[in-house]
Amino acid sequence: MRTILFLINGFGIENKDSYSVYNAELMPNFEKLINRYIFSSVESNLHSVYEGYRNMSLEINELYNYHIFNRELANNNLFNNDVYNNIVNELNTREKAHLFCFVDTSPSIVDNLKEYLKKINPNHDKKIFLHLVLTPTNYEDYPMILEVLSKINIDLNEYATIGLVLGLEYLLNSNPLVELNFLLKMLITEVGEKWQSFKQKLDVSYGTKKAPSSVKPFVVNNGFSLGNNDLCLIWNYDNIDISNYINGIKNINYNDKTNNIVFYSLFPVTYEKPIPYMLNYETSPISLSQNMKGLSFKTLVLTQADTVTGINYYLNGLSNNNNTDITYIAIDNCQYDTTTLLNILNSYKQDFVIMNYDISSSQTIEELKDQLSKIDAVLGSICTYMETNSLSLIISSLYKINKNLNNDSGEICHVFYSKSPLIYVNNFASKKDYLINEGKTNDLFRLCYKTINKDYPGGTILIKKNFLYRMIYK
């Protein structure tokens, strides 16, 4: 059955302490659907549309490259490659090693690092410093980041010492030259803001809602001064271009000493010259594109132009290749034009349609209400189209906003949601006979697969009520 997944990203079920935005007058079509069709919720701790598509398509909550590391470790391949052997040999001739560790909210990095450090520093006699690079862009991630940092500090203390903590922005090519030079100077002189308790420092950043990726570099422990004969290992799980930063280190002038600093990386990084790496990127065996092959359907994605590349990467299982079975149409100029949208749906006959909306750009309460009202009008037209053409419609959100917005009176209003809504609109699965268990974001695609093709072998949160249940809850 042709199925439309209608996403209102950022939207959710209001927390009891949230400023109240939603009401039946603002979104009458949404309210009607809640009352008429199967309504449930989705638990989501995600903070961006791309995390949502990764979770739905790949069915994972963290970067796929953590899985690659663990698999290679389990298969005894991690420590049997030339790059690893070169690093071990280099450590015997180098004064210090610097691991620039890209940290997100996943505790997997701690286990990965521990296995690696145990291997390269079994006698705890090598000077190894960890410089922790915070990658998340949402300030809500601080509690989880602090858990990861605390675990690094406790579990890895016997193998390595934390030197610096900094936001990813300070390594990126887009970072102003003056800030890059500031960071390079800190690496050499160890002079800078010092916080032995990174919790206190990050609590301040959390309070000011500064993105973790924007945290100004600060010193945790001294002794890490970057020497001319040191080794730098970029402990990355994603491909990133930090060419300016690498060149900055390579161009450090040590006066009468030659700069012999060498670089390695965990996964490939973008640089003008190849940097030896231990593990390579792979595509995921689980993705929307793989399920499309197995279930024989094609997909149409209606979204904003600047999201196409990121969404395509995850729907294709971590590949940027063009998949002829997935069609993208940018709707920036017609996202609220129901006539145009319905013409698109009539012209393109794919079995699976994703309509991608996002409310996170709202800067005021009135902007947010205006967006929701316009989206609701589109939703009403789509619902009528669905009923006329005997389609299925699934309405949800990949993540929930948590932000302060000003109202018309200039008051600051905190808008945050507890869960994402899930409405299942299908005339063949009535509210009387079916229910949907509360699920997670990755259950959305599974529900779509089952609706498109009943032979989908995976599990689904759509449950047929038994006789006893209907008797008790009728």
Distance CA(119)–CA(130), nearest Å, equals 16
Runs of H (alpha helix) within 316-401: 338-347, 365-389
Residues 395/33, Cβ–Cβ less than 8 Å? yes
69-73, 321-325, 332-336, 400-404: which range is least confident on average?
Answer: 400-404
Nearest C-alpha neighbor of 267 from the set 53, 97, 101, 75: 101
Residue with the two structure tokens 């024989």: 296
Tens-place pLDDT, residues 346-383: 999 999 999 999 999 899 999 999 999 999 999 999 99
Q: Is the overall model pTM greater than 0.75, yes or no?
A: yes
User: Average pLDDT in the 4-24 region?
Assistant: 91
29 Cβ partners below 8 Å, 6+ apart? 376, 377, 379, 380, 383
Q: Are strands 262-265 and 231-235 parallel, antiparallel or unpaired?
A: parallel
1-10, 218-227, 331-340, 457-466: which range is least confident on average?
Answer: 457-466
Whole-number Cα distances in Å, 468 to 351, 430, 433, 471 = 35, 17, 12, 5
Q: Is 258 exposed, middle or buried (0-12, 13-18, 19+ CB in 10 A)?
A: exposed
Provide the pLDDT confidence category of residue 473 given band limits of 50, 70 and 90. very low
Query: Which bin fits 172, alpha (ψ -120 to 50), beta or left (φ > 0)?
Result: beta
Note the pLDDT of residue 427.
83
- Given a cut of 90, is residue 466 above it in pLDDT? no
- Given a cut of 80, is residue 468 above it in pLDDT? no
User: Average pLDDT in the 202-221 region?
Assistant: 91
Biggest distance spanned by C-alpha atoms of the chain: 87
Residues 284/318, Cβ–Cβ less than 8 Å? yes
Tens-place pLDDT, residues 100-145: 999 999 999 999 999 999 999 888 888 999 999 999 988 888 999 9
Q: How many Cβ atoms from other residues are within 10 Å of residue 247's Cβ?
A: 13
Average pLDDT of the chain is 91
Residues 243/210, Cβ–Cβ less than 8 Å? no
Tens-place pLDDT, residues 339-352: 999 999 999 999 99
Tens-place pLDDT, residues 241-291: 889 999 999 999 888 888 999 999 999 999 988 999 999 999 999 999 999
134-148, 153-167, 302-316, 455-469: which range is least confident on average?
Answer: 455-469
Q: Which domains does the chain have, with CATH numbers?
A: 3-60+284-473 (3.40.720.10), 64-265 (3.40.1450.10)
Which tokens in the block code for residue 303?
């979204």
Residues 130/89, Cβ–Cβ less than 8 Å? no
Query: What's the number of CA atoms in the CB half-sphere (13 Å) around residue 417?
Result: 25
Note the pLDDT of residue 402.
83
Tens-place pLDDT, residues 385-404: 998 898 999 999 999 888 88
- Given a cut of 90, is residue 429 above it in pLDDT? no
User: Average pLDDT in the 142-154 region?
Assistant: 94
Note the pLDDT of residue 470.
46
Residues 365/406, Cβ–Cβ less than 8 Å? yes
- Given a cut of 80, is residue 48 above it in pLDDT? yes
Which tokens in the block code for residue 102?
């890209």
Note the pLDDT of residue 209.
83
Note the pLDDT of residue 206.
87
Tens-place pLDDT, residues 56-91: 999 998 899 999 999 999 998 989 889 999 999 999
- Given a cut of 60, is residue 469 above it in pLDDT? no
For CA atoms 227, 228, 231, 236, give the dihedral sign: positive
Tens-place pLDDT, residues 160-187: 999 999 999 999 888 888 888 899 999 9
